[in-house]
Structure 1
């Protein structure tokens, strides 16, 4: 039986290639998503600046919560991506621990070399440090000397090379304070990958760090002192790490990247699994439909249904194992290329390596193998149920209708899609709504795959209209479509899926970004908005407050807060006179009451936080510092201004970068504001309705967009596969038309009309699915059922779908028409 399966597969090379491509692409995509998910779970960034310290101590880099389930306490934690600082007294404890030979304190704060126009030089994230901590790398001076005075710095070798500086140069540095000139006293003997390091004299570093009595970290040696250090720090909120785990302390924001990879890998990976099953099932279904005559003949020569199922199952298994393995290996190369793209774009840190293991490969191969085998068995079920003579008749005139079990599956998919729409309209958190939206599209696509035959009847009406303009081609197209609905259904399903998933991916982010921008513009009611490439330092805001005629200056700094393990985007705003610069759409309470110990909450976040006016929320700030805050206002414009509003000074004291993302000024003239900003290169002012600075919820990430783009490409491959198979499977039909006198141009016209009709129906169905999904998503997140759809982008999707359908039909058709019709009419099906 296996030999027969191999022989049958080998003699159907067209179907073999199509199925191989579908299985290969599915395995590659699933493997890539699986590796990214595994990286989020198990990946650790490699230490660089702390590579010379075997043990590293920082503040507690987690928020903790105790949950009770059936009377049992469960301790849960979540990593934070701001730096949790240590009390300076911890240094004496660590230094006095048994076995500790060296304990070096570390200070880290934002500091960049900038040009005269205020733009950063050197590239990558840049941090300032005290020279004392250079030994943690370790770094030594290769040229010049170490910084000794307050106006001197040392620059790492990589940054010096990229910025073109050398010892003795005067450079402009933008740190957490006003920009200042420093002399480069020395250049180190090594650089850091993907980051810059500026070293200051210890007193100057203490001043710029802005956390009196606190330090960023402690580097300890030797590694054998790890247990003693942990014992010495009992009672002090801290995190102690050794080995590769030190990287998470050096790069606290890596925890955010890991959460993103877990969320994205699980969401997109699950969607990819669903689409892969649909695509593979569709490919094998069409392949089996084109083999009904062969299956009927096998039945006629006494082959039992079990033997036929075994034959087809073994064909699917052999092909799936080969294609799945090849695709999974290619997926490893694909994910490596994706990581390089994400690192280059700044969406992933260069120090976070991929965590590659056998599980993604095994899951990918197992998934495509199971999908192929199940699809092959299901597709052969009807041919095995009916008599051989009836099966041969069905080849000539396929029966309309859908099996009862398929109708049940389709009804379940439709019901699920309806439930998704209801859930989307009630969800107010885009992080939870995004996977639901994408999953709903897959459910709708499953319903289209099942009920494709009724949808295919629409092509008959369209081609019948075409017969008025093209009497031969249009007539042939209408009759051909009327004769075989199942072939058209197999084509409509993947093309509508491609349109729906593309429109949903593109416009869900434009809906978010458009709503966020619109809310930020409408809510910024001051006269001037000041921004800068590295933020706006507090000294600039103070200078603006001294401008004659200026009534209010509101600083806005971005951060996150935690309620339990849930994270919410937060903004710190200057409370004094905030009503004259910002209108966040307050519907209950007032921002006039905003002060330390109070908080304002957006409508979208209030449900998840169970927050009402007057309620007290026990929050943790960006660095894990606990605060109790009473809700004094509820507002509507959460996409534009974050989930939570807190006093500016309270937020700025607990973030890595206290500089304001933007400053809104009420009062004063444009010239007066420009004059006040003269000492701060890079800062610029604009009107209140200019594009806002990127906020905490300003659109989707590059990682999500690229991975979803891969899903779209995979779906496009399925479209090409299906159309090419459907066209190639008609070689006998086209040969017969040519033998009875139909000209090649008339056959090409017939195929063009068929393709146009299929494309119109598929685009219409896919657009309706996407529109329903986007409307429900927009209703839940933005409060309006009208999504933000860019007409040029939608037109590009429609044109791409039409071009894809035409190319996938025209290329195999031209190849068939170049052969002799006598050869085509006698060819084996």
Structure 2
């Protein structure tokens, strides 16, 4: 049977080529997503400014005991430096702090973004002076020569630096050259300590070892000495995490994103490969029937099919290992361009993604081949020829059971989607779409018969005899027609569902943002941030009705003491729940936003207090202490003073800005929301708040519309990344659609020959095929819209509070027209090529 299988490959090239294409592209996409997943898991970035330190200690960004991360930089206690220096073979432990900075030449309004550090940490680069001298006193600064060129300054000049929310004049004492980004400057140690985001903390510690020391042993001893502290001891390319904490923060985003779309691509691959192989074997039913009629056993037929499939799959998946990693690296580059992940993230795609992608495609192919071969292999020899001719088989109980399970799973996920908050509804809607598609696919022949019955009379009325003949063909060959309809359903259903899923979530987030914002002006600073006390001063300015600091962050609601006390050691230990945290001013939050207290009072939001969304506050009472972790991992227990509405899941816990800001990466207030007095001229007010008499030099004002536009642009950028991955999966489904249609039409050469022999002209055959193509397209579009509707209606109710999704209608029109053109065009082109053969040649080529 193995030899027979290998010899049969050259006689059925069309079916095997189609299977090869499906397996090749499916494996390549899964391998690419696997490479992105490995890149996110490894979280590697080449060290730059700290490359001279063989070992680096930094804060552990991971939330304890869970696959979650803190979104703000986790800093180290200053006492960690002494602990590290006490370890044998540590020559010196050099602390480093990163200070957000802006270089403003001549005190003007424009500025160049930079990062400041203490001069002592310059040797970790190492950096060397190329001009001037080191900063030895307060008010002195050394610039990277590339930064100085961008800012247009030189040694000896005076510049204005924005540090920790204030603008201060400094003298440039020298220029340095060294590794890392161009935006680096060094301050005297006293200035660095004074302007650091947290003055009793350091960002990282560079470890310089003694000559000849075993660095692996030193690393282990450092880990032992610091056991129990939230630290990470890093070597090699891991050290880049200390310089670029975004590698860890956004690396987790890359893990979740690639896992979701990799899983989606794998499921689409299963569907496509099974459909392609099933259609390929349907074309060979006559051969299978003859093999059974001459005495071949079911096992022999199955082994032959498996051997053929294995041969094709091995070559396809092996070749997919070449473009797969390159496709993953290209996708990572697009994510970097969109600002989703940092550009310093090192792409890693080892053998695990290749084995996983190739193995998944290989197992899918063998599983699909075994299932597709079962029916033919188990056919009784006396019924073989009739079965091959008439295609009378019906759904078996296995397909029905799995179809019911898939549809039930889709229904359950739809109910879950409707009842979760809008921000997380997409995580259940995406697998629901795939389950709906899989369920409809398993019921393909039955649903195709139903759609044929519904479309029969309209098509007959419009197309006449050609339509009648096409309907008869469809009814007699329902299995073959289903093999063409299902790819249309998959491509249109998944494209519509996934694209409108993104537009709906984007619109939901944007709508909540616009509805929530009531401020007339938004103040920012050329210094990059503002002091937490500034909002109170702005509130007293003439023409200002109210002002509130706005500090976006995130954190975790920790398990309560009662939950921890009830835990008996069995099952999952209670963990923290992620929550958005916003730092605000109690006196101005209700005038500058639409946030209102559902219970308690927001005016009590001062000191050690918190206001929680109603869903997060369940089980808690006003006045109760709420265990939390702020964005940098700091444990706090603020007193609950109010609850606020959830805003369809986009709400946040509110805390005083003076509490939240010190625990963010920058340590300052990025925005102040300002509501003008009734009848005040906002343009004039903006000029007064940012002019020569401004409460703080360097303030800038933007109107509400500018902030709304900026938010929309940010949402569009993030949505574009999702579109890219959706396009990858849908593009694969389109390839499968064309693949299947070419196979389904090309194998009918013998049927066309018989029609020609009994007197049908080429034009008549083409008209019949046009109607069949329309029937295929309309049936597939109808089922695809059912998949999309079952996915999007629950999502839209959760996100927008209505049944219809958000997004331009032209997207739906483009999907429908594209599917129709592809289906009809591919079918007619293949039929035309099949009809070009001479009758004598076609007769001789029939099975």
1:673 maps to 2:686: yes
Q: Offset at 1:15?
A: 0.9
Q: Offset at 1:135?
A: 1.1
Distance 2:311 2:251 in 1: 37
Higher mean C-alpha displacement, 652-661 vs 19-28? 652-661
Change (3 A) 1:282 1:97: closer
Q: For residues 491-514 of structure 1, give each alpha carbon's deviation from its aligned partner in whole angstroms, at most 9, with x where no partner exists.
A: 222222222222232222222221
Higher mean C-alpha displacement, 181-190 vs 421-430? 181-190
Contact 2:50 2:124 in 1 (8 A): yes
Contact 2:162 2:528 in 1 (8 A): no
Describe how 1:790-801 pairs up with structure 2 within 5 A. Answer: 790-801=808-819
Higher mean C-alpha displacement, 740-749 vs 231-240? 231-240
Distance 1:143 1:424 in 2: 62
Distance 2:227 2:396 in 1: 68
Q: Offset at 1:701?
A: 6.1
1:805 maps to 2:823: yes
Describe how 1:370-449 pairs up with structure 2 within 5 A. Answer: 370-388=363-381, 390-399=383-392, 401-428=394-421, 430-431=423-424, 433-449=425-441
Distance 2:671 2:477 in 1: 62
Residue 442 of structure 2 corresponds to 450
Distance 1:279 1:534 in 2: 55
Residue 110 of structure 1 corresponds to 100
Contact 1:51 1:137 in 2 (8 A): yes
For these two proteins, the number of residue pairs brought into alignment is: 812
Describe how 1:205-216 pairs up with structure 2 within 5 A. Answer: 205-216=192-203
Residue 185 of structure 2 corresponds to 198
Distance 1:698 1:158 in 2: 33
Change (3 A) 1:156 1:535: closer
Distance 1:800 1:165 in 2: 56
Distance 1:523 1:632 in 2: 21
Residue 314 of structure 1 corresponds to 307
Residue 504 of structure 1 corresponds to 497
Q: For residues 255-309 of structure 1, give each alpha carbon's deviation from its aligned partner in whole angstroms, at most 9, with x where no partner exists.
A: 2223223323333232222221111110111011110011111122222222111
Residue 721 of structure 1 corresponds to 739
Contact 1:540 1:677 in 2 (8 A): no
Change (3 A) 1:104 1:536: closer
Q: Offset at 1:730?
A: 1.7
Q: Offset at 1:29?
A: 1.6
Residue 101 of structure 1 corresponds to 91
1:83 maps to 2:73: yes
Q: For residues 342-394 of structure 1, give each alpha carbon's deviation from its aligned partner in whole angstroms, at most 9, with x where no partner exists.
A: 22332222332233322222222222222212222222222233334533233
Q: Offset at 1:181?
A: 6.1
Distance 2:109 2:775 in 1: 57
Q: Offset at 1:19?
A: 0.3
Contact 2:61 2:248 in 1 (8 A): no
Change (3 A) 1:748 1:92: same
Distance 1:760 1:118 in 2: 61
SS, match of residue 445 in structure 1:
helix
Higher mean C-alpha displacement, 775-784 vs 3-12? 775-784
Q: Offset at 1:807?
A: 3.9
Change (3 A) 1:547 1:819: farther
1:22 maps to 2:33: no
Q: For residues 449-478 of structure 1, give each alpha carbon's deviation from its aligned partner in whole angstroms, at most 9, with x where no partner exists.
A: 122223323245436423444335434433
Contact 1:309 1:380 in 2 (8 A): yes
Q: For residues 691-713 of structure 1, give each alpha carbon's deviation from its aligned partner in whole angstroms, at most 9, with x where no partner exists.
A: 16549995856654433332222
Distance 1:434 1:375 in 2: 30
Change (3 A) 1:602 1:825: farther
Residue 131 of structure 1 corresponds to 119
Contact 2:535 2:585 in 1 (8 A): no
1:578 maps to 2:580: no
1:220 maps to 2:199: no
Distance 2:836 2:307 in 1: 35
Distance 2:670 2:286 in 1: 69
SS, match of residue 642 in structure 2:
strand
1:569 maps to 2:556: no
Residue 564 of structure 2 corresponds to none
1:53 maps to 2:53: yes
Residue 68 of structure 1 corresponds to none
SS, match of residue 638 in structure 2:
strand
Distance 1:728 1:170 in 2: 77
Higher mean C-alpha displacement, 308-317 vs 159-168? 159-168
SS, match of residue 242 in structure 2:
helix
Gaps of 5+ in 1: 65-74
Q: For residues 789-829 of structure 1, give each alpha carbon's deviation from its aligned partner in whole angstroms, at most 9, with x where no partner exists.
A: 33222222223322332343243233223333432343245
Residue 177 of structure 1 corresponds to 165
- CA RMSD across the alignment: 3.3
Describe how 1:241-390 pairs up with structure 2 within 5 A. Answer: 241-388=234-381, 390=383
Higher mean C-alpha displacement, 778-787 vs 363-372? 778-787
Higher mean C-alpha displacement, 660-669 vs 531-540? 531-540
SS, match of residue 616 in structure 1:
coil
Distance 2:117 2:719 in 1: 30
Q: Offset at 1:399?
A: 1.8
Residue 546 of structure 2 corresponds to 552
Describe how 1:1-20 pairs up with structure 2 within 5 A. Answer: 1-20=1-20
Distance 1:160 1:218 in 2: 27
Change (3 A) 1:767 1:175: farther
TM-score by length of 2: 0.87
